[in-house]
Amino acid sequence: MNLDLAFDELLPAPVDAVWDALTDAAAISDWLMTTPDFRAQVGVRFMMKTTHGAEDGWVRAEVLELEPPRRMVWAWSVGDRYPPTTVTFELTPEAGGTRLKLTHVGEVEPFLVDLFRNGWPGRIELLTSVAQRRSDDE
């Protein structure tokens, strides 16, 4: 089934804090999924531990594009039945914080469409919290 999700949110934190939350393995583990091996570098393959969706509990991913601190693209695979989906994070400074545009597109199992559609808003809220904490720590 076709996955075509787009989220556009204003996060009340500066771009550098949001970028840090998007590109630090410990931060990703706080707001998205536990990742033991993420590095913000094109070509890096990494895994994230999930509790649903992936047959073995692991999401396999790769950094496809990186334009610090504005854009990052991942390939994201929850199984072998479909090709990886694409998750894109785009950041733009804006009065009051950072505009986050997140898209997630590709072909997935039908049940995953609702899982992602309903899951991303909560993950974006957690990302906001992590970014705000990192901004406060500066």
pLDDT value for 57: 76
26 vs 6, 56, 62, 67, 94, CA distance in Å?
Answer: 25, 22, 17, 20, 26
Tokens for 104?
């997630």
pTM of the predicted model as reported, rounded to 2 decimal places: 0.93
Which band of pLDDT confidence, cut at 50, 70 and 90, is reported for residue 135? confident
Mean pLDDT in residue range 91-106: 97
Classified as helix, coil or strand, 135 is: helix
Domains observed in the chain: 2-137 (3.30.530.20)
- Give the tens place of pLDDT for each residue, 53-77: 556 678 999 999 999 999 999 999 9
Classified as helix, coil or strand, 41 is: coil
The neighbour count for residue 36, using CB atoms within 10 Å, is 10
**Whose CA is closest to 4, among 73, 106, 82?**
106
Mean confidence (pLDDT) of the chain: 92
